[in-house]
Amino acid sequence: MEIVNGSTVIFYLPMPKSWSKKKKALMLGKGHQQKPDVDNLLKAVMDAVLKEDCHIYDIHSKKYWSEKGGIQIL
Protein backbone atom coordinates (compact mmCIF):
# COMPACT_ATOMS: atom_id res chain seq x y z
CA MET A 1 0.00 0.00 0.00
CA GLU A 2 1.51 3.32 -1.02
CA ILE A 3 0.17 6.76 -0.27
CA VAL A 4 1.62 9.59 -2.36
CA ASN A 5 0.54 13.13 -3.12
CA GLY A 6 -2.61 13.13 -5.20
CA SER A 7 -3.76 9.76 -3.86
CA THR A 8 -7.42 8.98 -3.29
CA VAL A 9 -8.25 6.79 -0.30
CA ILE A 10 -11.67 5.13 -0.43
CA PHE A 11 -13.18 3.54 2.65
CA TYR A 12 -15.86 0.87 2.33
CA LEU A 13 -17.82 0.55 5.56
CA PRO A 14 -19.98 -2.52 6.14
CA MET A 15 -23.68 -2.10 6.55
CA PRO A 16 -25.16 -3.16 9.92
CA LYS A 17 -26.40 -6.75 10.05
CA SER A 18 -29.60 -5.43 11.63
CA TRP A 19 -30.59 -3.63 8.40
CA SER A 20 -33.23 -5.26 6.23
CA LYS A 21 -32.29 -6.65 2.80
CA LYS A 22 -34.33 -3.81 1.26
CA LYS A 23 -32.42 -1.12 3.14
CA LYS A 24 -29.07 -2.77 2.34
CA ALA A 25 -29.96 -2.84 -1.37
CA LEU A 26 -30.95 0.82 -1.20
CA MET A 27 -27.77 1.96 0.61
CA LEU A 28 -25.17 -0.20 -1.19
CA GLY A 29 -22.58 2.10 -2.76
CA LYS A 30 -24.11 5.28 -1.33
CA GLY A 31 -21.99 7.82 0.51
CA HIS A 32 -21.50 6.99 4.19
CA GLN A 33 -22.56 10.05 6.20
CA GLN A 34 -22.25 8.75 9.75
CA LYS A 35 -19.41 8.23 12.20
CA PRO A 36 -16.59 7.41 11.93
CA ASP A 37 -15.62 10.69 10.28
CA VAL A 38 -13.60 10.43 7.08
CA ASP A 39 -10.79 12.57 8.52
CA ASN A 40 -10.35 10.17 11.45
CA LEU A 41 -10.29 7.15 9.11
CA LEU A 42 -7.73 8.84 6.87
CA LYS A 43 -5.51 9.80 9.79
CA ALA A 44 -5.53 6.21 11.09
CA VAL A 45 -4.48 4.84 7.69
CA MET A 46 -1.76 7.43 7.19
CA ASP A 47 -0.39 6.81 10.71
CA ALA A 48 -0.36 3.05 10.05
CA VAL A 49 1.24 3.21 6.59
CA LEU A 50 3.59 6.20 6.72
CA LYS A 51 6.48 6.82 9.10
CA GLU A 52 6.12 10.55 8.53
CA ASP A 53 3.21 12.14 6.70
CA CYS A 54 4.33 15.77 6.69
CA HIS A 55 5.33 15.48 3.01
CA ILE A 56 1.72 14.75 1.99
CA TYR A 57 0.05 17.96 0.85
CA ASP A 58 -2.68 16.67 -1.49
CA ILE A 59 -4.92 13.71 -0.67
CA HIS A 60 -8.57 12.89 -1.30
CA SER A 61 -10.81 10.56 0.64
CA LYS A 62 -14.31 9.14 0.35
CA LYS A 63 -16.39 6.64 2.30
CA TYR A 64 -19.21 4.44 1.08
CA TRP A 65 -21.58 1.81 2.41
CA SER A 66 -20.56 -1.69 1.38
CA GLU A 67 -21.35 -5.34 2.05
CA LYS A 68 -17.82 -5.86 3.42
CA GLY A 69 -15.36 -3.38 4.86
CA GLY A 70 -12.23 -2.38 3.00
CA ILE A 71 -9.79 0.35 1.99
CA GLN A 72 -8.69 1.19 -1.54
CA ILE A 73 -5.79 3.53 -2.35
CA LEU A 74 -5.64 4.93 -5.88
What pTM did the predictor assign? 0.92
How much is the pLDDT for 1?
Answer: 72
Going by DSSP bridges, is the β-strand pair 59-66/7-14 parallel, antiparallel, or unpaired? parallel
Domain definitions of the chain by residue range = 7-73
Task: Specify the pLDDT at position 15.
Answer: 98
Mean pLDDT of residues grouped by 10 in the chain (74 residues)? Answer: 91 98 98 97 94 93 98 96
Query: What integer pLDDT is reported at residue 2 of this predicted model?
Result: 84
Secondary structure of residue 20 in the 3-state scheme: coil
Task: Output the pLDDT for position 10.
Answer: 98
The gap between the terminal CA atoms of the chain, to the nearest Å, is 10
